[in-house]
Amino acid sequence: MILVTGGAGFIGANFVLDWLAQSDEAIVNLDKLTYAGNRENLSSLAGDPRHIFVHGDIGDAALTSQLLARHQPRAIVNFAAESHVDRSIHGPEDFIQTNIVGSFHLLEATRGYWGSLPDEAQRRFRFLHVSTDEVYGSLARDEPAFSELHRYEPNSPYSASKAASDHLVRAYHHTYGLPVLTTNCSNNYGPYHFPEKLIPLVIVNALAGKPLPVYGDGQQIRDWLYVRDHCSAIRRVLDAGRPGETYNIGGWNEKPNLDIVHTVCLLLDELRARGDGKPYRDQIVYVADRPGHDRRYAIDARKIESELGWRPAETFASGIRKTVQWYLENQDWVRNVQSGAYREWVEKNYQGRDQ
């Protein structure tokens, strides 16, 4: 079996669902169930003995050591993190605790467990750390995309905390020989994406008749990847990646934020037109920019393609259509995640920001 952390969040839940749809290898899923963790994402697995959910913190080394000793996983995939840049600007502490200190404790527990394995099991074991392209900082318009050799230049408390965890993972390989793999992926979108992030926020706000907030001039560029393509890339790296290596994962799909918002609006005009016949793009409002906002991310994904033969299956056109359709068909899920805490966050992040 494998141990997955953060498997009740957006990417982790998609990974767990895809994994168990394709394999009978069981998963122990360790998740703290922060505001971003949602057991409803995994409700289709209720009663499935291949999925063992454990409510807990990656920073609890006693718990993780106990889980490792009991279940003897052949691999760990570490998704658990605080993941929202805007939240890291309002309050960095949780990012330091989970992304840095938590990852450190998880690595320590893993080192203890791995050291106790017989030689062959030690050789086959993998610790895969799921990271982000944001550790590389921001690109100018004409600069080449991030390769694995790009220097680290994180600009937000979130990306700095992810960079620190990447460095710890690297150090555990170089110092202790732990067979680690690190993936640095671009922006994901798809089902179960929490509506604090741009794409689900725009879908949810549009349908509710609320403003669609675009930071600054809306010309910041991200490289968007459908979440299930990210999951297939992680499976591929886990199977065939070389220990100690890092792999960049991206969609070859750079787009300015305003284009993304327009695309979502057009799809909604087609699939669920507004009652008054007006276009959803009328709801766009420009709001004050994110402090320290990175201008452009772009991933050079040639290494994972040439070494491991991975490429994304979805185009942006197919992936975004599936995503908008999923939100239209899962309005109960949307309602359930918009708790009081969610509404408080929206007020904190957007109040007084109109320009």
Among 41, 83, 165, 253, binds ligand DAU (CB under 6 A): 83
Among 38, 41, 132, 155, binds ligand DAU (CB under 6 A): 132
Residue nearest to ligand NAD (CB): 9
Tracing tokens 């490289």 back to the chain, one arrives at 223
Show the site string, 202-241: x = touches ligand DAU by CB under 6 A, - = not: -----------xxx----x-x-------------------
Can you tell me the distance from the alpha carbon of 160 to that of 167, in angstroms, rounded to the nearest whole number? 11
85 binds ligand DAU (CB under 6 A): yes
**Is the distance from CB of 298 to CB of 254 less than 8 angstroms?**
yes
Among 12, 64, 67, 84, binds ligand DAU (CB under 6 A): 84
Tokens encoding 307 = 């070494």
Quote the least distance from Cβ 6 to ligand NAD, whole Å.
3
Can you tell me the distance from the alpha carbon of 22 to that of 47, in angstroms, rounded to the nearest whole number? 18
List the single partner that 251 binds among ligand DAU, ligand NAD, none, CB under 5 to 8 Å by kind: none
Q: Which stretch binds ligand DAU (CB under 6 A): 43-51, 79-87, 245-253, 311-319?
A: 79-87
Catalytic residue (choose from 136, 158, 280, 297) = 158
Nearest to 222 by CA among 247, 192, 258: 258
Quote the least distance from Cβ 239 to ligand NAD, whole Å.
19
Catalytic residue (choose from 134, 254, 294, 314) = 134
- Bridge partner list, 129: 78, 182
Q: Is 259 a catalytic residue?
A: no
Tokens encoding 159 = 């990306």
Quote the least distance from Cβ 282 to ligand NAD, whole Å.
28
Q: Is 307 a catalytic residue?
A: no
**Is the distance from CB of 301 to CB of 186 less than 8 angstroms?**
no
Quote the least distance from Cβ 5 to ligand NAD, whole Å.
5
Q: Which CB atom, from 195 or from 213, has the smaller least distance to ligand NAD?
A: 195
Q: Which stretch binds ligand DAU (CB under 6 A): 129-137, 145-153, 233-241, 338-346?
A: 129-137
List the single partner that 284 binds among ligand DAU, ligand NAD, none, CB under 5 to 8 Å by kind: none
List the single partner that 297 binds among ligand NAD, ligand DAU, none, CB under 5 to 8 Å by kind: ligand DAU
- Which positions are annotated as active-site residues? 133-134, 158
